[in-house]
């Protein structure tokens, strides 16, 4: 009985550590800004998709949820925080839709499996990251108005080249990332 109890406790501790480390990785990816025009590129979407591919939807969703709760609680985990605010005020600002899109993206990217060929992986990653932008511009419309061109030009277009790069990179290394799941 002690062996089962110890095994359960070690699994719980392992799960908590993975979720905490994932949240830290997501925070770091939000803070490192790579100079890019017209806006700096972060690696947040890369890490979100990576979490889904490597840890599956349950751990991925728990990690993203923790990250969002940390930000809502006032920890400066989001990109541009604390410079542009923290907590619930920042969260409910123009980027909230994108942040909520992390939840759908991590879930969809978890559907990638080792049997998928490069083209299928690419399509699944495009679908996953698209949900971030769809939710993002739906919320952004509250701030910029509902003209499609303005929403696309302000909320999607500046990030397209960076997203293509991140998706291609992930698609190339997905088979290696999936191997991580075996250790979880």
> Which tens digits make up the pLDDT trace of 87-138?
999 999 999 999 999 999 999 999 999 999 999 999 999 999 999 999 999 9
What band does 6 get if pLDDT is binned at 50, 70 and 90? confident
d(CA 131, CA 105): 6
Predicted local distance difference test score (pLDDT) of residue 130: 98
Q: Indicate yes or no: pTM above 0.75.
A: yes
Assess whether pLDDT exceeds 90 at residue 169: yes
CA–chain centroid gap for 134, Å, is: 14
Domain hosting residue 118, numbered range:
2-183
Q: Are 139 and 156 in contact (CB under 8 A)?
A: no
| Mean model confidence pLDDT for the chain | 93
d(CA 31, CA 51): 17
Instruction: Report how many domains make up the chain.
Output: 1
The fraction of the chain above a pLDDT of 70, given in percent, is: 96
Least confident of 27-41, 45-59, 91-105, 130-144: 27-41
What band does 83 get if pLDDT is binned at 50, 70 and 90? confident
Contacts of 99 (CB under 8 A, 6+ apart): 68, 71, 78, 91
**Residue 83 corresponds to which tokens in the numbers above?**
């410079």
CATH number at residue 134: 1.10.1760.20
> Average pLDDT of 34-53?
87
- Select the more confidently predicted residue: 28 or 181: 28
């Amino acid at each position: 009985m002690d062996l089962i109890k110890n095994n359960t406790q070690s699994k719980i501790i392992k799960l908590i550590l993975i979720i905490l480390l994932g949240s830290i990785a997501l925070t770091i990816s939000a803070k490192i800004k790579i100079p890019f025009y017209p806006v700096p590129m972060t690696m947040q979407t890369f890490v979100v998709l990576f979490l889904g591919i490597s840890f599956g939807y349950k751990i991925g969703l728990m990690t993203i949820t923790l990250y969002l709760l940390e930000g809502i609680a006032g920890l400066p985990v989001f990109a541009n925080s604390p410079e542009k605010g923290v907590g619930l005020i920042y969260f409910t600002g123009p980027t909230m839709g994108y942040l909520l899109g992390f939840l759908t993206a991590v879930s969809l990217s978890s559907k990638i499996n080792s049997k998928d060929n490069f083209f299928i992986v690419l399509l699944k990653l495009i679908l996953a990251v698209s949900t971030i932008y769809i939710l993002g511009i739906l919320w952004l419309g509250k701030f910029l108005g509902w003209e499609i061109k303005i929403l696309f030009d302000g909320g999607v277009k500046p990030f397209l080249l960076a997203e293509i790069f991140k998706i291609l990179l992930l698609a190339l290394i997905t088979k290696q990332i999936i191997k991580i799941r075996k250790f979880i």
